[in-house]
A and B are shown apart, each in its own frame.
Chain A
């Protein structure tokens, strides 16, 4: 009997902590509190959901007027597949190569491809959940607005299941190849980070450059073909078109053909990856955790040099946070570099595209809507700076080392302040990257850039403090693989949703104030004041909460 089935079962149980969840459902002391938290989250999400639905409705209306409504499905497909590719790559590397069970699995009589297949299945199940909030509302919105027939709803299931397969299998292929090379070198961690970024950037660039179409041909296609827009946007990544067209064409021979094509190519790439893993996976995995070290007794002088000057506890904890974050590839990639990656991909995308997709931003800058430009820039900078999960996994990342934080003679408030400083510094990196990225792709004046920087820096305070608060409320300290602390941590998702809800509310407010004819400078000042006030309140709340929560957090 193949070992794959029990292996997949075991991996799913371990990764989703199914046994622990079941135990908590049966024995948990705080079932009512968990239910209340869930209700509160749903209530908190309402403004964002409303904004998302309105956005989908508006886009559908605009596409409907030019007869290209099926392009909405494509937008959902592209959003999902891009998310899977960019974030899935890091996920695949950590799930395949940095899970704590790897050494145990290698010692068992299992084939490399069985280990890879089981881990791939776990990753893909996770991706189904990860892309759900971004993709499903778009599909459901289209289905309802277009009064889609039954076949659309039936086909939605296989299309959704196939959606992440190709980008994730391609990510896995690249990851397996990269790790084979990484394992030959001494500087493994550094090479993983650099290699990952280069591969993602290169792939993104290639996708943006290939299958380009001249403007004239694109316009002709848009006017003459029913799903011309789908072809124009999707010809950069054909699987998106196949998925989108199979949904829009339904059970017609062409629609079934598109689904068949998607399934066949997905299966081919998946099997290719699994076959390659048989040869390369263990060569990349075995010995990866071995750290080469120098064995040389430090002289008194060297020892004296390596002993710190006696920093205060705040500085010591900040230093610890920075070192651990920057030296753990999974944390560095998901926490720090994501904020840089988004603006970098934006620059690559815009620079490699024939037309500037950020036309709205550029035209706002050119037509004198400076306030709108500043607010959009600030929102973008805040997203890049604060959506990384650094704050919202700060306590969870300590994991089994949390005992150290509990026994050291440093007040809870000071420990939280050090963690806040760290996450704020990471935000700063994202904010600076976002503003530089914006400067490259859109003509932004110095004062406008400075105003956006100020608003984003102030706006980052409540979001970081809220992230810490959310993580401190239910820190995920039991993990077997560091990626579970940041990538598979619901606190990160909740903090992102809370941050997004906060930005949407501020966006609505700005929109409302600007429509009433108030001057842009007034709207800007109001938002700055709101951000500062929110920051102050959340910070105060966080400090009080730390005093109560730290002592009762069991290790």
Chain B
């Protein structure tokens, strides 16, 4: 469960307000889609959830634990996939996954089983022994995703995870996201692909100029819009100005 309470974050001495008094709760077992135009504050919000940025005000609780007061406990239950799959290029795929397994304390038997499984799912088994430097963008994205699913955390936060994935890998990822939530986990992800959000998410939130301008299930959003629009239509309407 993720609870975002009155969180604000600004840059450049307050001149740019990236996130403006945002309140939001994402329940356990829920896939939450976070939408918004470029520069709306999505990545800033995500970075605050995973502890990469500190909010100017407000608090973020992961399963009831404040991520500013007890960051280690929060990190132990969260994994994150950034919008750019920047991972240590000089390490081999297995070495990076080992590193993640070590710091999240995944025991060896589990590690072998999960790495084998995910390597097959993402069709990357033949590349794991090679340096990440030799990977294509899509393969890097796959290794970052594998690292995020490896510890089987309670909360997974993904920033545009489908970018660069081939259709089969994208399909497998969506299945994995559903599986994670079926097991009671929480999944928070941002995307620009409306169809994906529409089909995959239990609820969506739309952020515009740092403020949450719409939030709910698709029927709830449609009811509020007063029309039977698609998510794209709703998105265009609430982010028009």
Given contact pairs A324-B88, A408-B103, A552-B54, A306 touches B131 in the complex (Cβ within 8 A): no
Task: Check A406–B52 contact: CB distance below 8 A.
Answer: yes
Chain A interface residue number, banded: 35 or more
Closest 7 CB pairs of A and B: A316-B102, A293-B130, A291-B134, A409-B75, A409-B76, A327-B90, A293-B134
Contact B90 A328 (CB under 8 A): yes
Residue from the set A310, A409, A411 with the largest chain B CB neighbour count within 10 Å: A409
B51 CB-CB contact with A under 8 Å: yes
Complexed CA–CA distance, A169 and B111 (Å): 52
Shortest CB-to-CB span from B94 to chain A, Å, is 4
Beyond A291-B133, A310-B101, A409-B103, whether A323 also contacts B116 by CB under 8 A is no
Contact B112 A307 (CB under 8 A): yes
Shortest A68–chain B CB gap in Å is 51
* Complex partner residue of A300 from B80, B92, B116, B127, CB under 8 angstroms: B116
Q: Who on chain B is nearest to A29 by CB?
A: B13
Q: Flag A305-317 by CB within 8 Å of B: 1 or 0 each.
A: 0111111110111
Residues of B within 8 A of A410 (CB): 72, 103
A552 contacts across to B, CB distance below 8 A: 54
Q: Provide a sorted-by-A list of 9 A–B residue pairs whose CB atoms are within 8 angstroms.
A: A306-B129, A309-B108, A317-B103, A319-B99, A323-B90, A323-B95, A400-B86, A409-B73, A409-B76
Quick one: given A304-B112, A307-B115, are A293 and B127 in contact (CB under 8 Å)? yes
**0 or 1 for each of A282-322: is its CB under 8 Å from B? (1 = yes):** 00000001011111111010111011111111011101100
A residues less than 8 Å from B78 (CB atoms): 407
**A298 and B125 contact, CB distance less than 8 A:** yes
CB-CB < 8 A to A411: which residues of B? 72
A323 & B108 in contact (Cβ 8 Å cutoff): no
Report yes or no: A312 in contact with B94, Cβ–Cβ below 8 A: no
* B38 proximal to A (CB < 8 A): no
A76 to B106, CA, bound (A): 57
Let me know if A554 is at the binding interface, CB within 8 A. Answer: yes
The answer to whether residues A308 and B91 also contact, given A295-B126, A298-B129, A303-B116 and a CB cut-off of 8 A, is: no
Say yes or no: is B168 at the interface (Cβ < 8 Å to chain A).
no
The contact string, 1 if C-beta is below 8 Å from chain B, for chain A 390-403, is 00000000001101
Write out, one digit per residue, whether chain B residues 50-84 have a CB within 8 A of any chain A CB (1) or not (0). 11111000000000000000011101101110101
Given A408-B103, A554-B53, 12 new contacts (CB under 8 A): A291-B134, A297-B126, A298-B126, A303-B112, A308-B102, A311-B102, A312-B102, A323-B91, A407-B79, A408-B75, A409-B75, A554-B52
- Whole-angstrom CA separation of A199 from B232 in the bound complex: 62
Question: When chains A and B are docked, how far (Å) is the Cα of A27 from the Cα of B16?
Answer: 13
Is B105 part of the contact surface with A, judged by Cβ < 8 Å? yes
Roughly how many angstroms separate A303 CA and B87 CA in the complex, as a whole number? 21
Q: Does A551 contact B (CB under 8 A)?
A: yes
Question: Is B141 engaged at the interface, CB distance under 8 Å to the other chain?
Answer: no
Q: How far is the CB of B67 from chain A (nearest CB, A)?
A: 11
B113 shortest CB reach to chain A, Å? 10
How many chain B residues sit at the interface, stated as a range, is 35 or more
Chain A residues whose CB sits within 8 angstroms of the CB of B94 once the complex forms: 298, 303, 306-307
Give the chain B neighbours of A300 by CB distance below 8 A.
112, 116
In Å, the complex CA distance between A486 and B110 comes to: 38
Contact A296 to B102, CB < 8 A, known contacts A308-B108, A323-B90, A324-B88? no
Closest to B76 in A: A409
**How far is the CB of A296 from the nearest CB of chain B, in Å?**
6
A220 within 8 A of B: no
Asked if B105 and A310 sit within 8 Å, CB to CB, the answer is yes
Chain B positions within 8 Å of A289 at CB level: 133
In the complex, are the beta carbons of A551 and B82 less than 8 A apart? no
Q: Does A555 count as interface, using CB distance less than 8 angstroms?
A: yes
Give the contacting residue for B82; candidates A297, A323, A403; CB below 8 A. Answer: A403
- Measured between beta carbons, the chain B residues less than 8 angstroms from A403 are 52, 80, 82, 86
In the complex, chain B residues whose CB is within 8 Å of the CB of A404: 87-88
**Which of B54, B91, B98, B131 makes the CB contact (< 8 A) with A551?**
B54
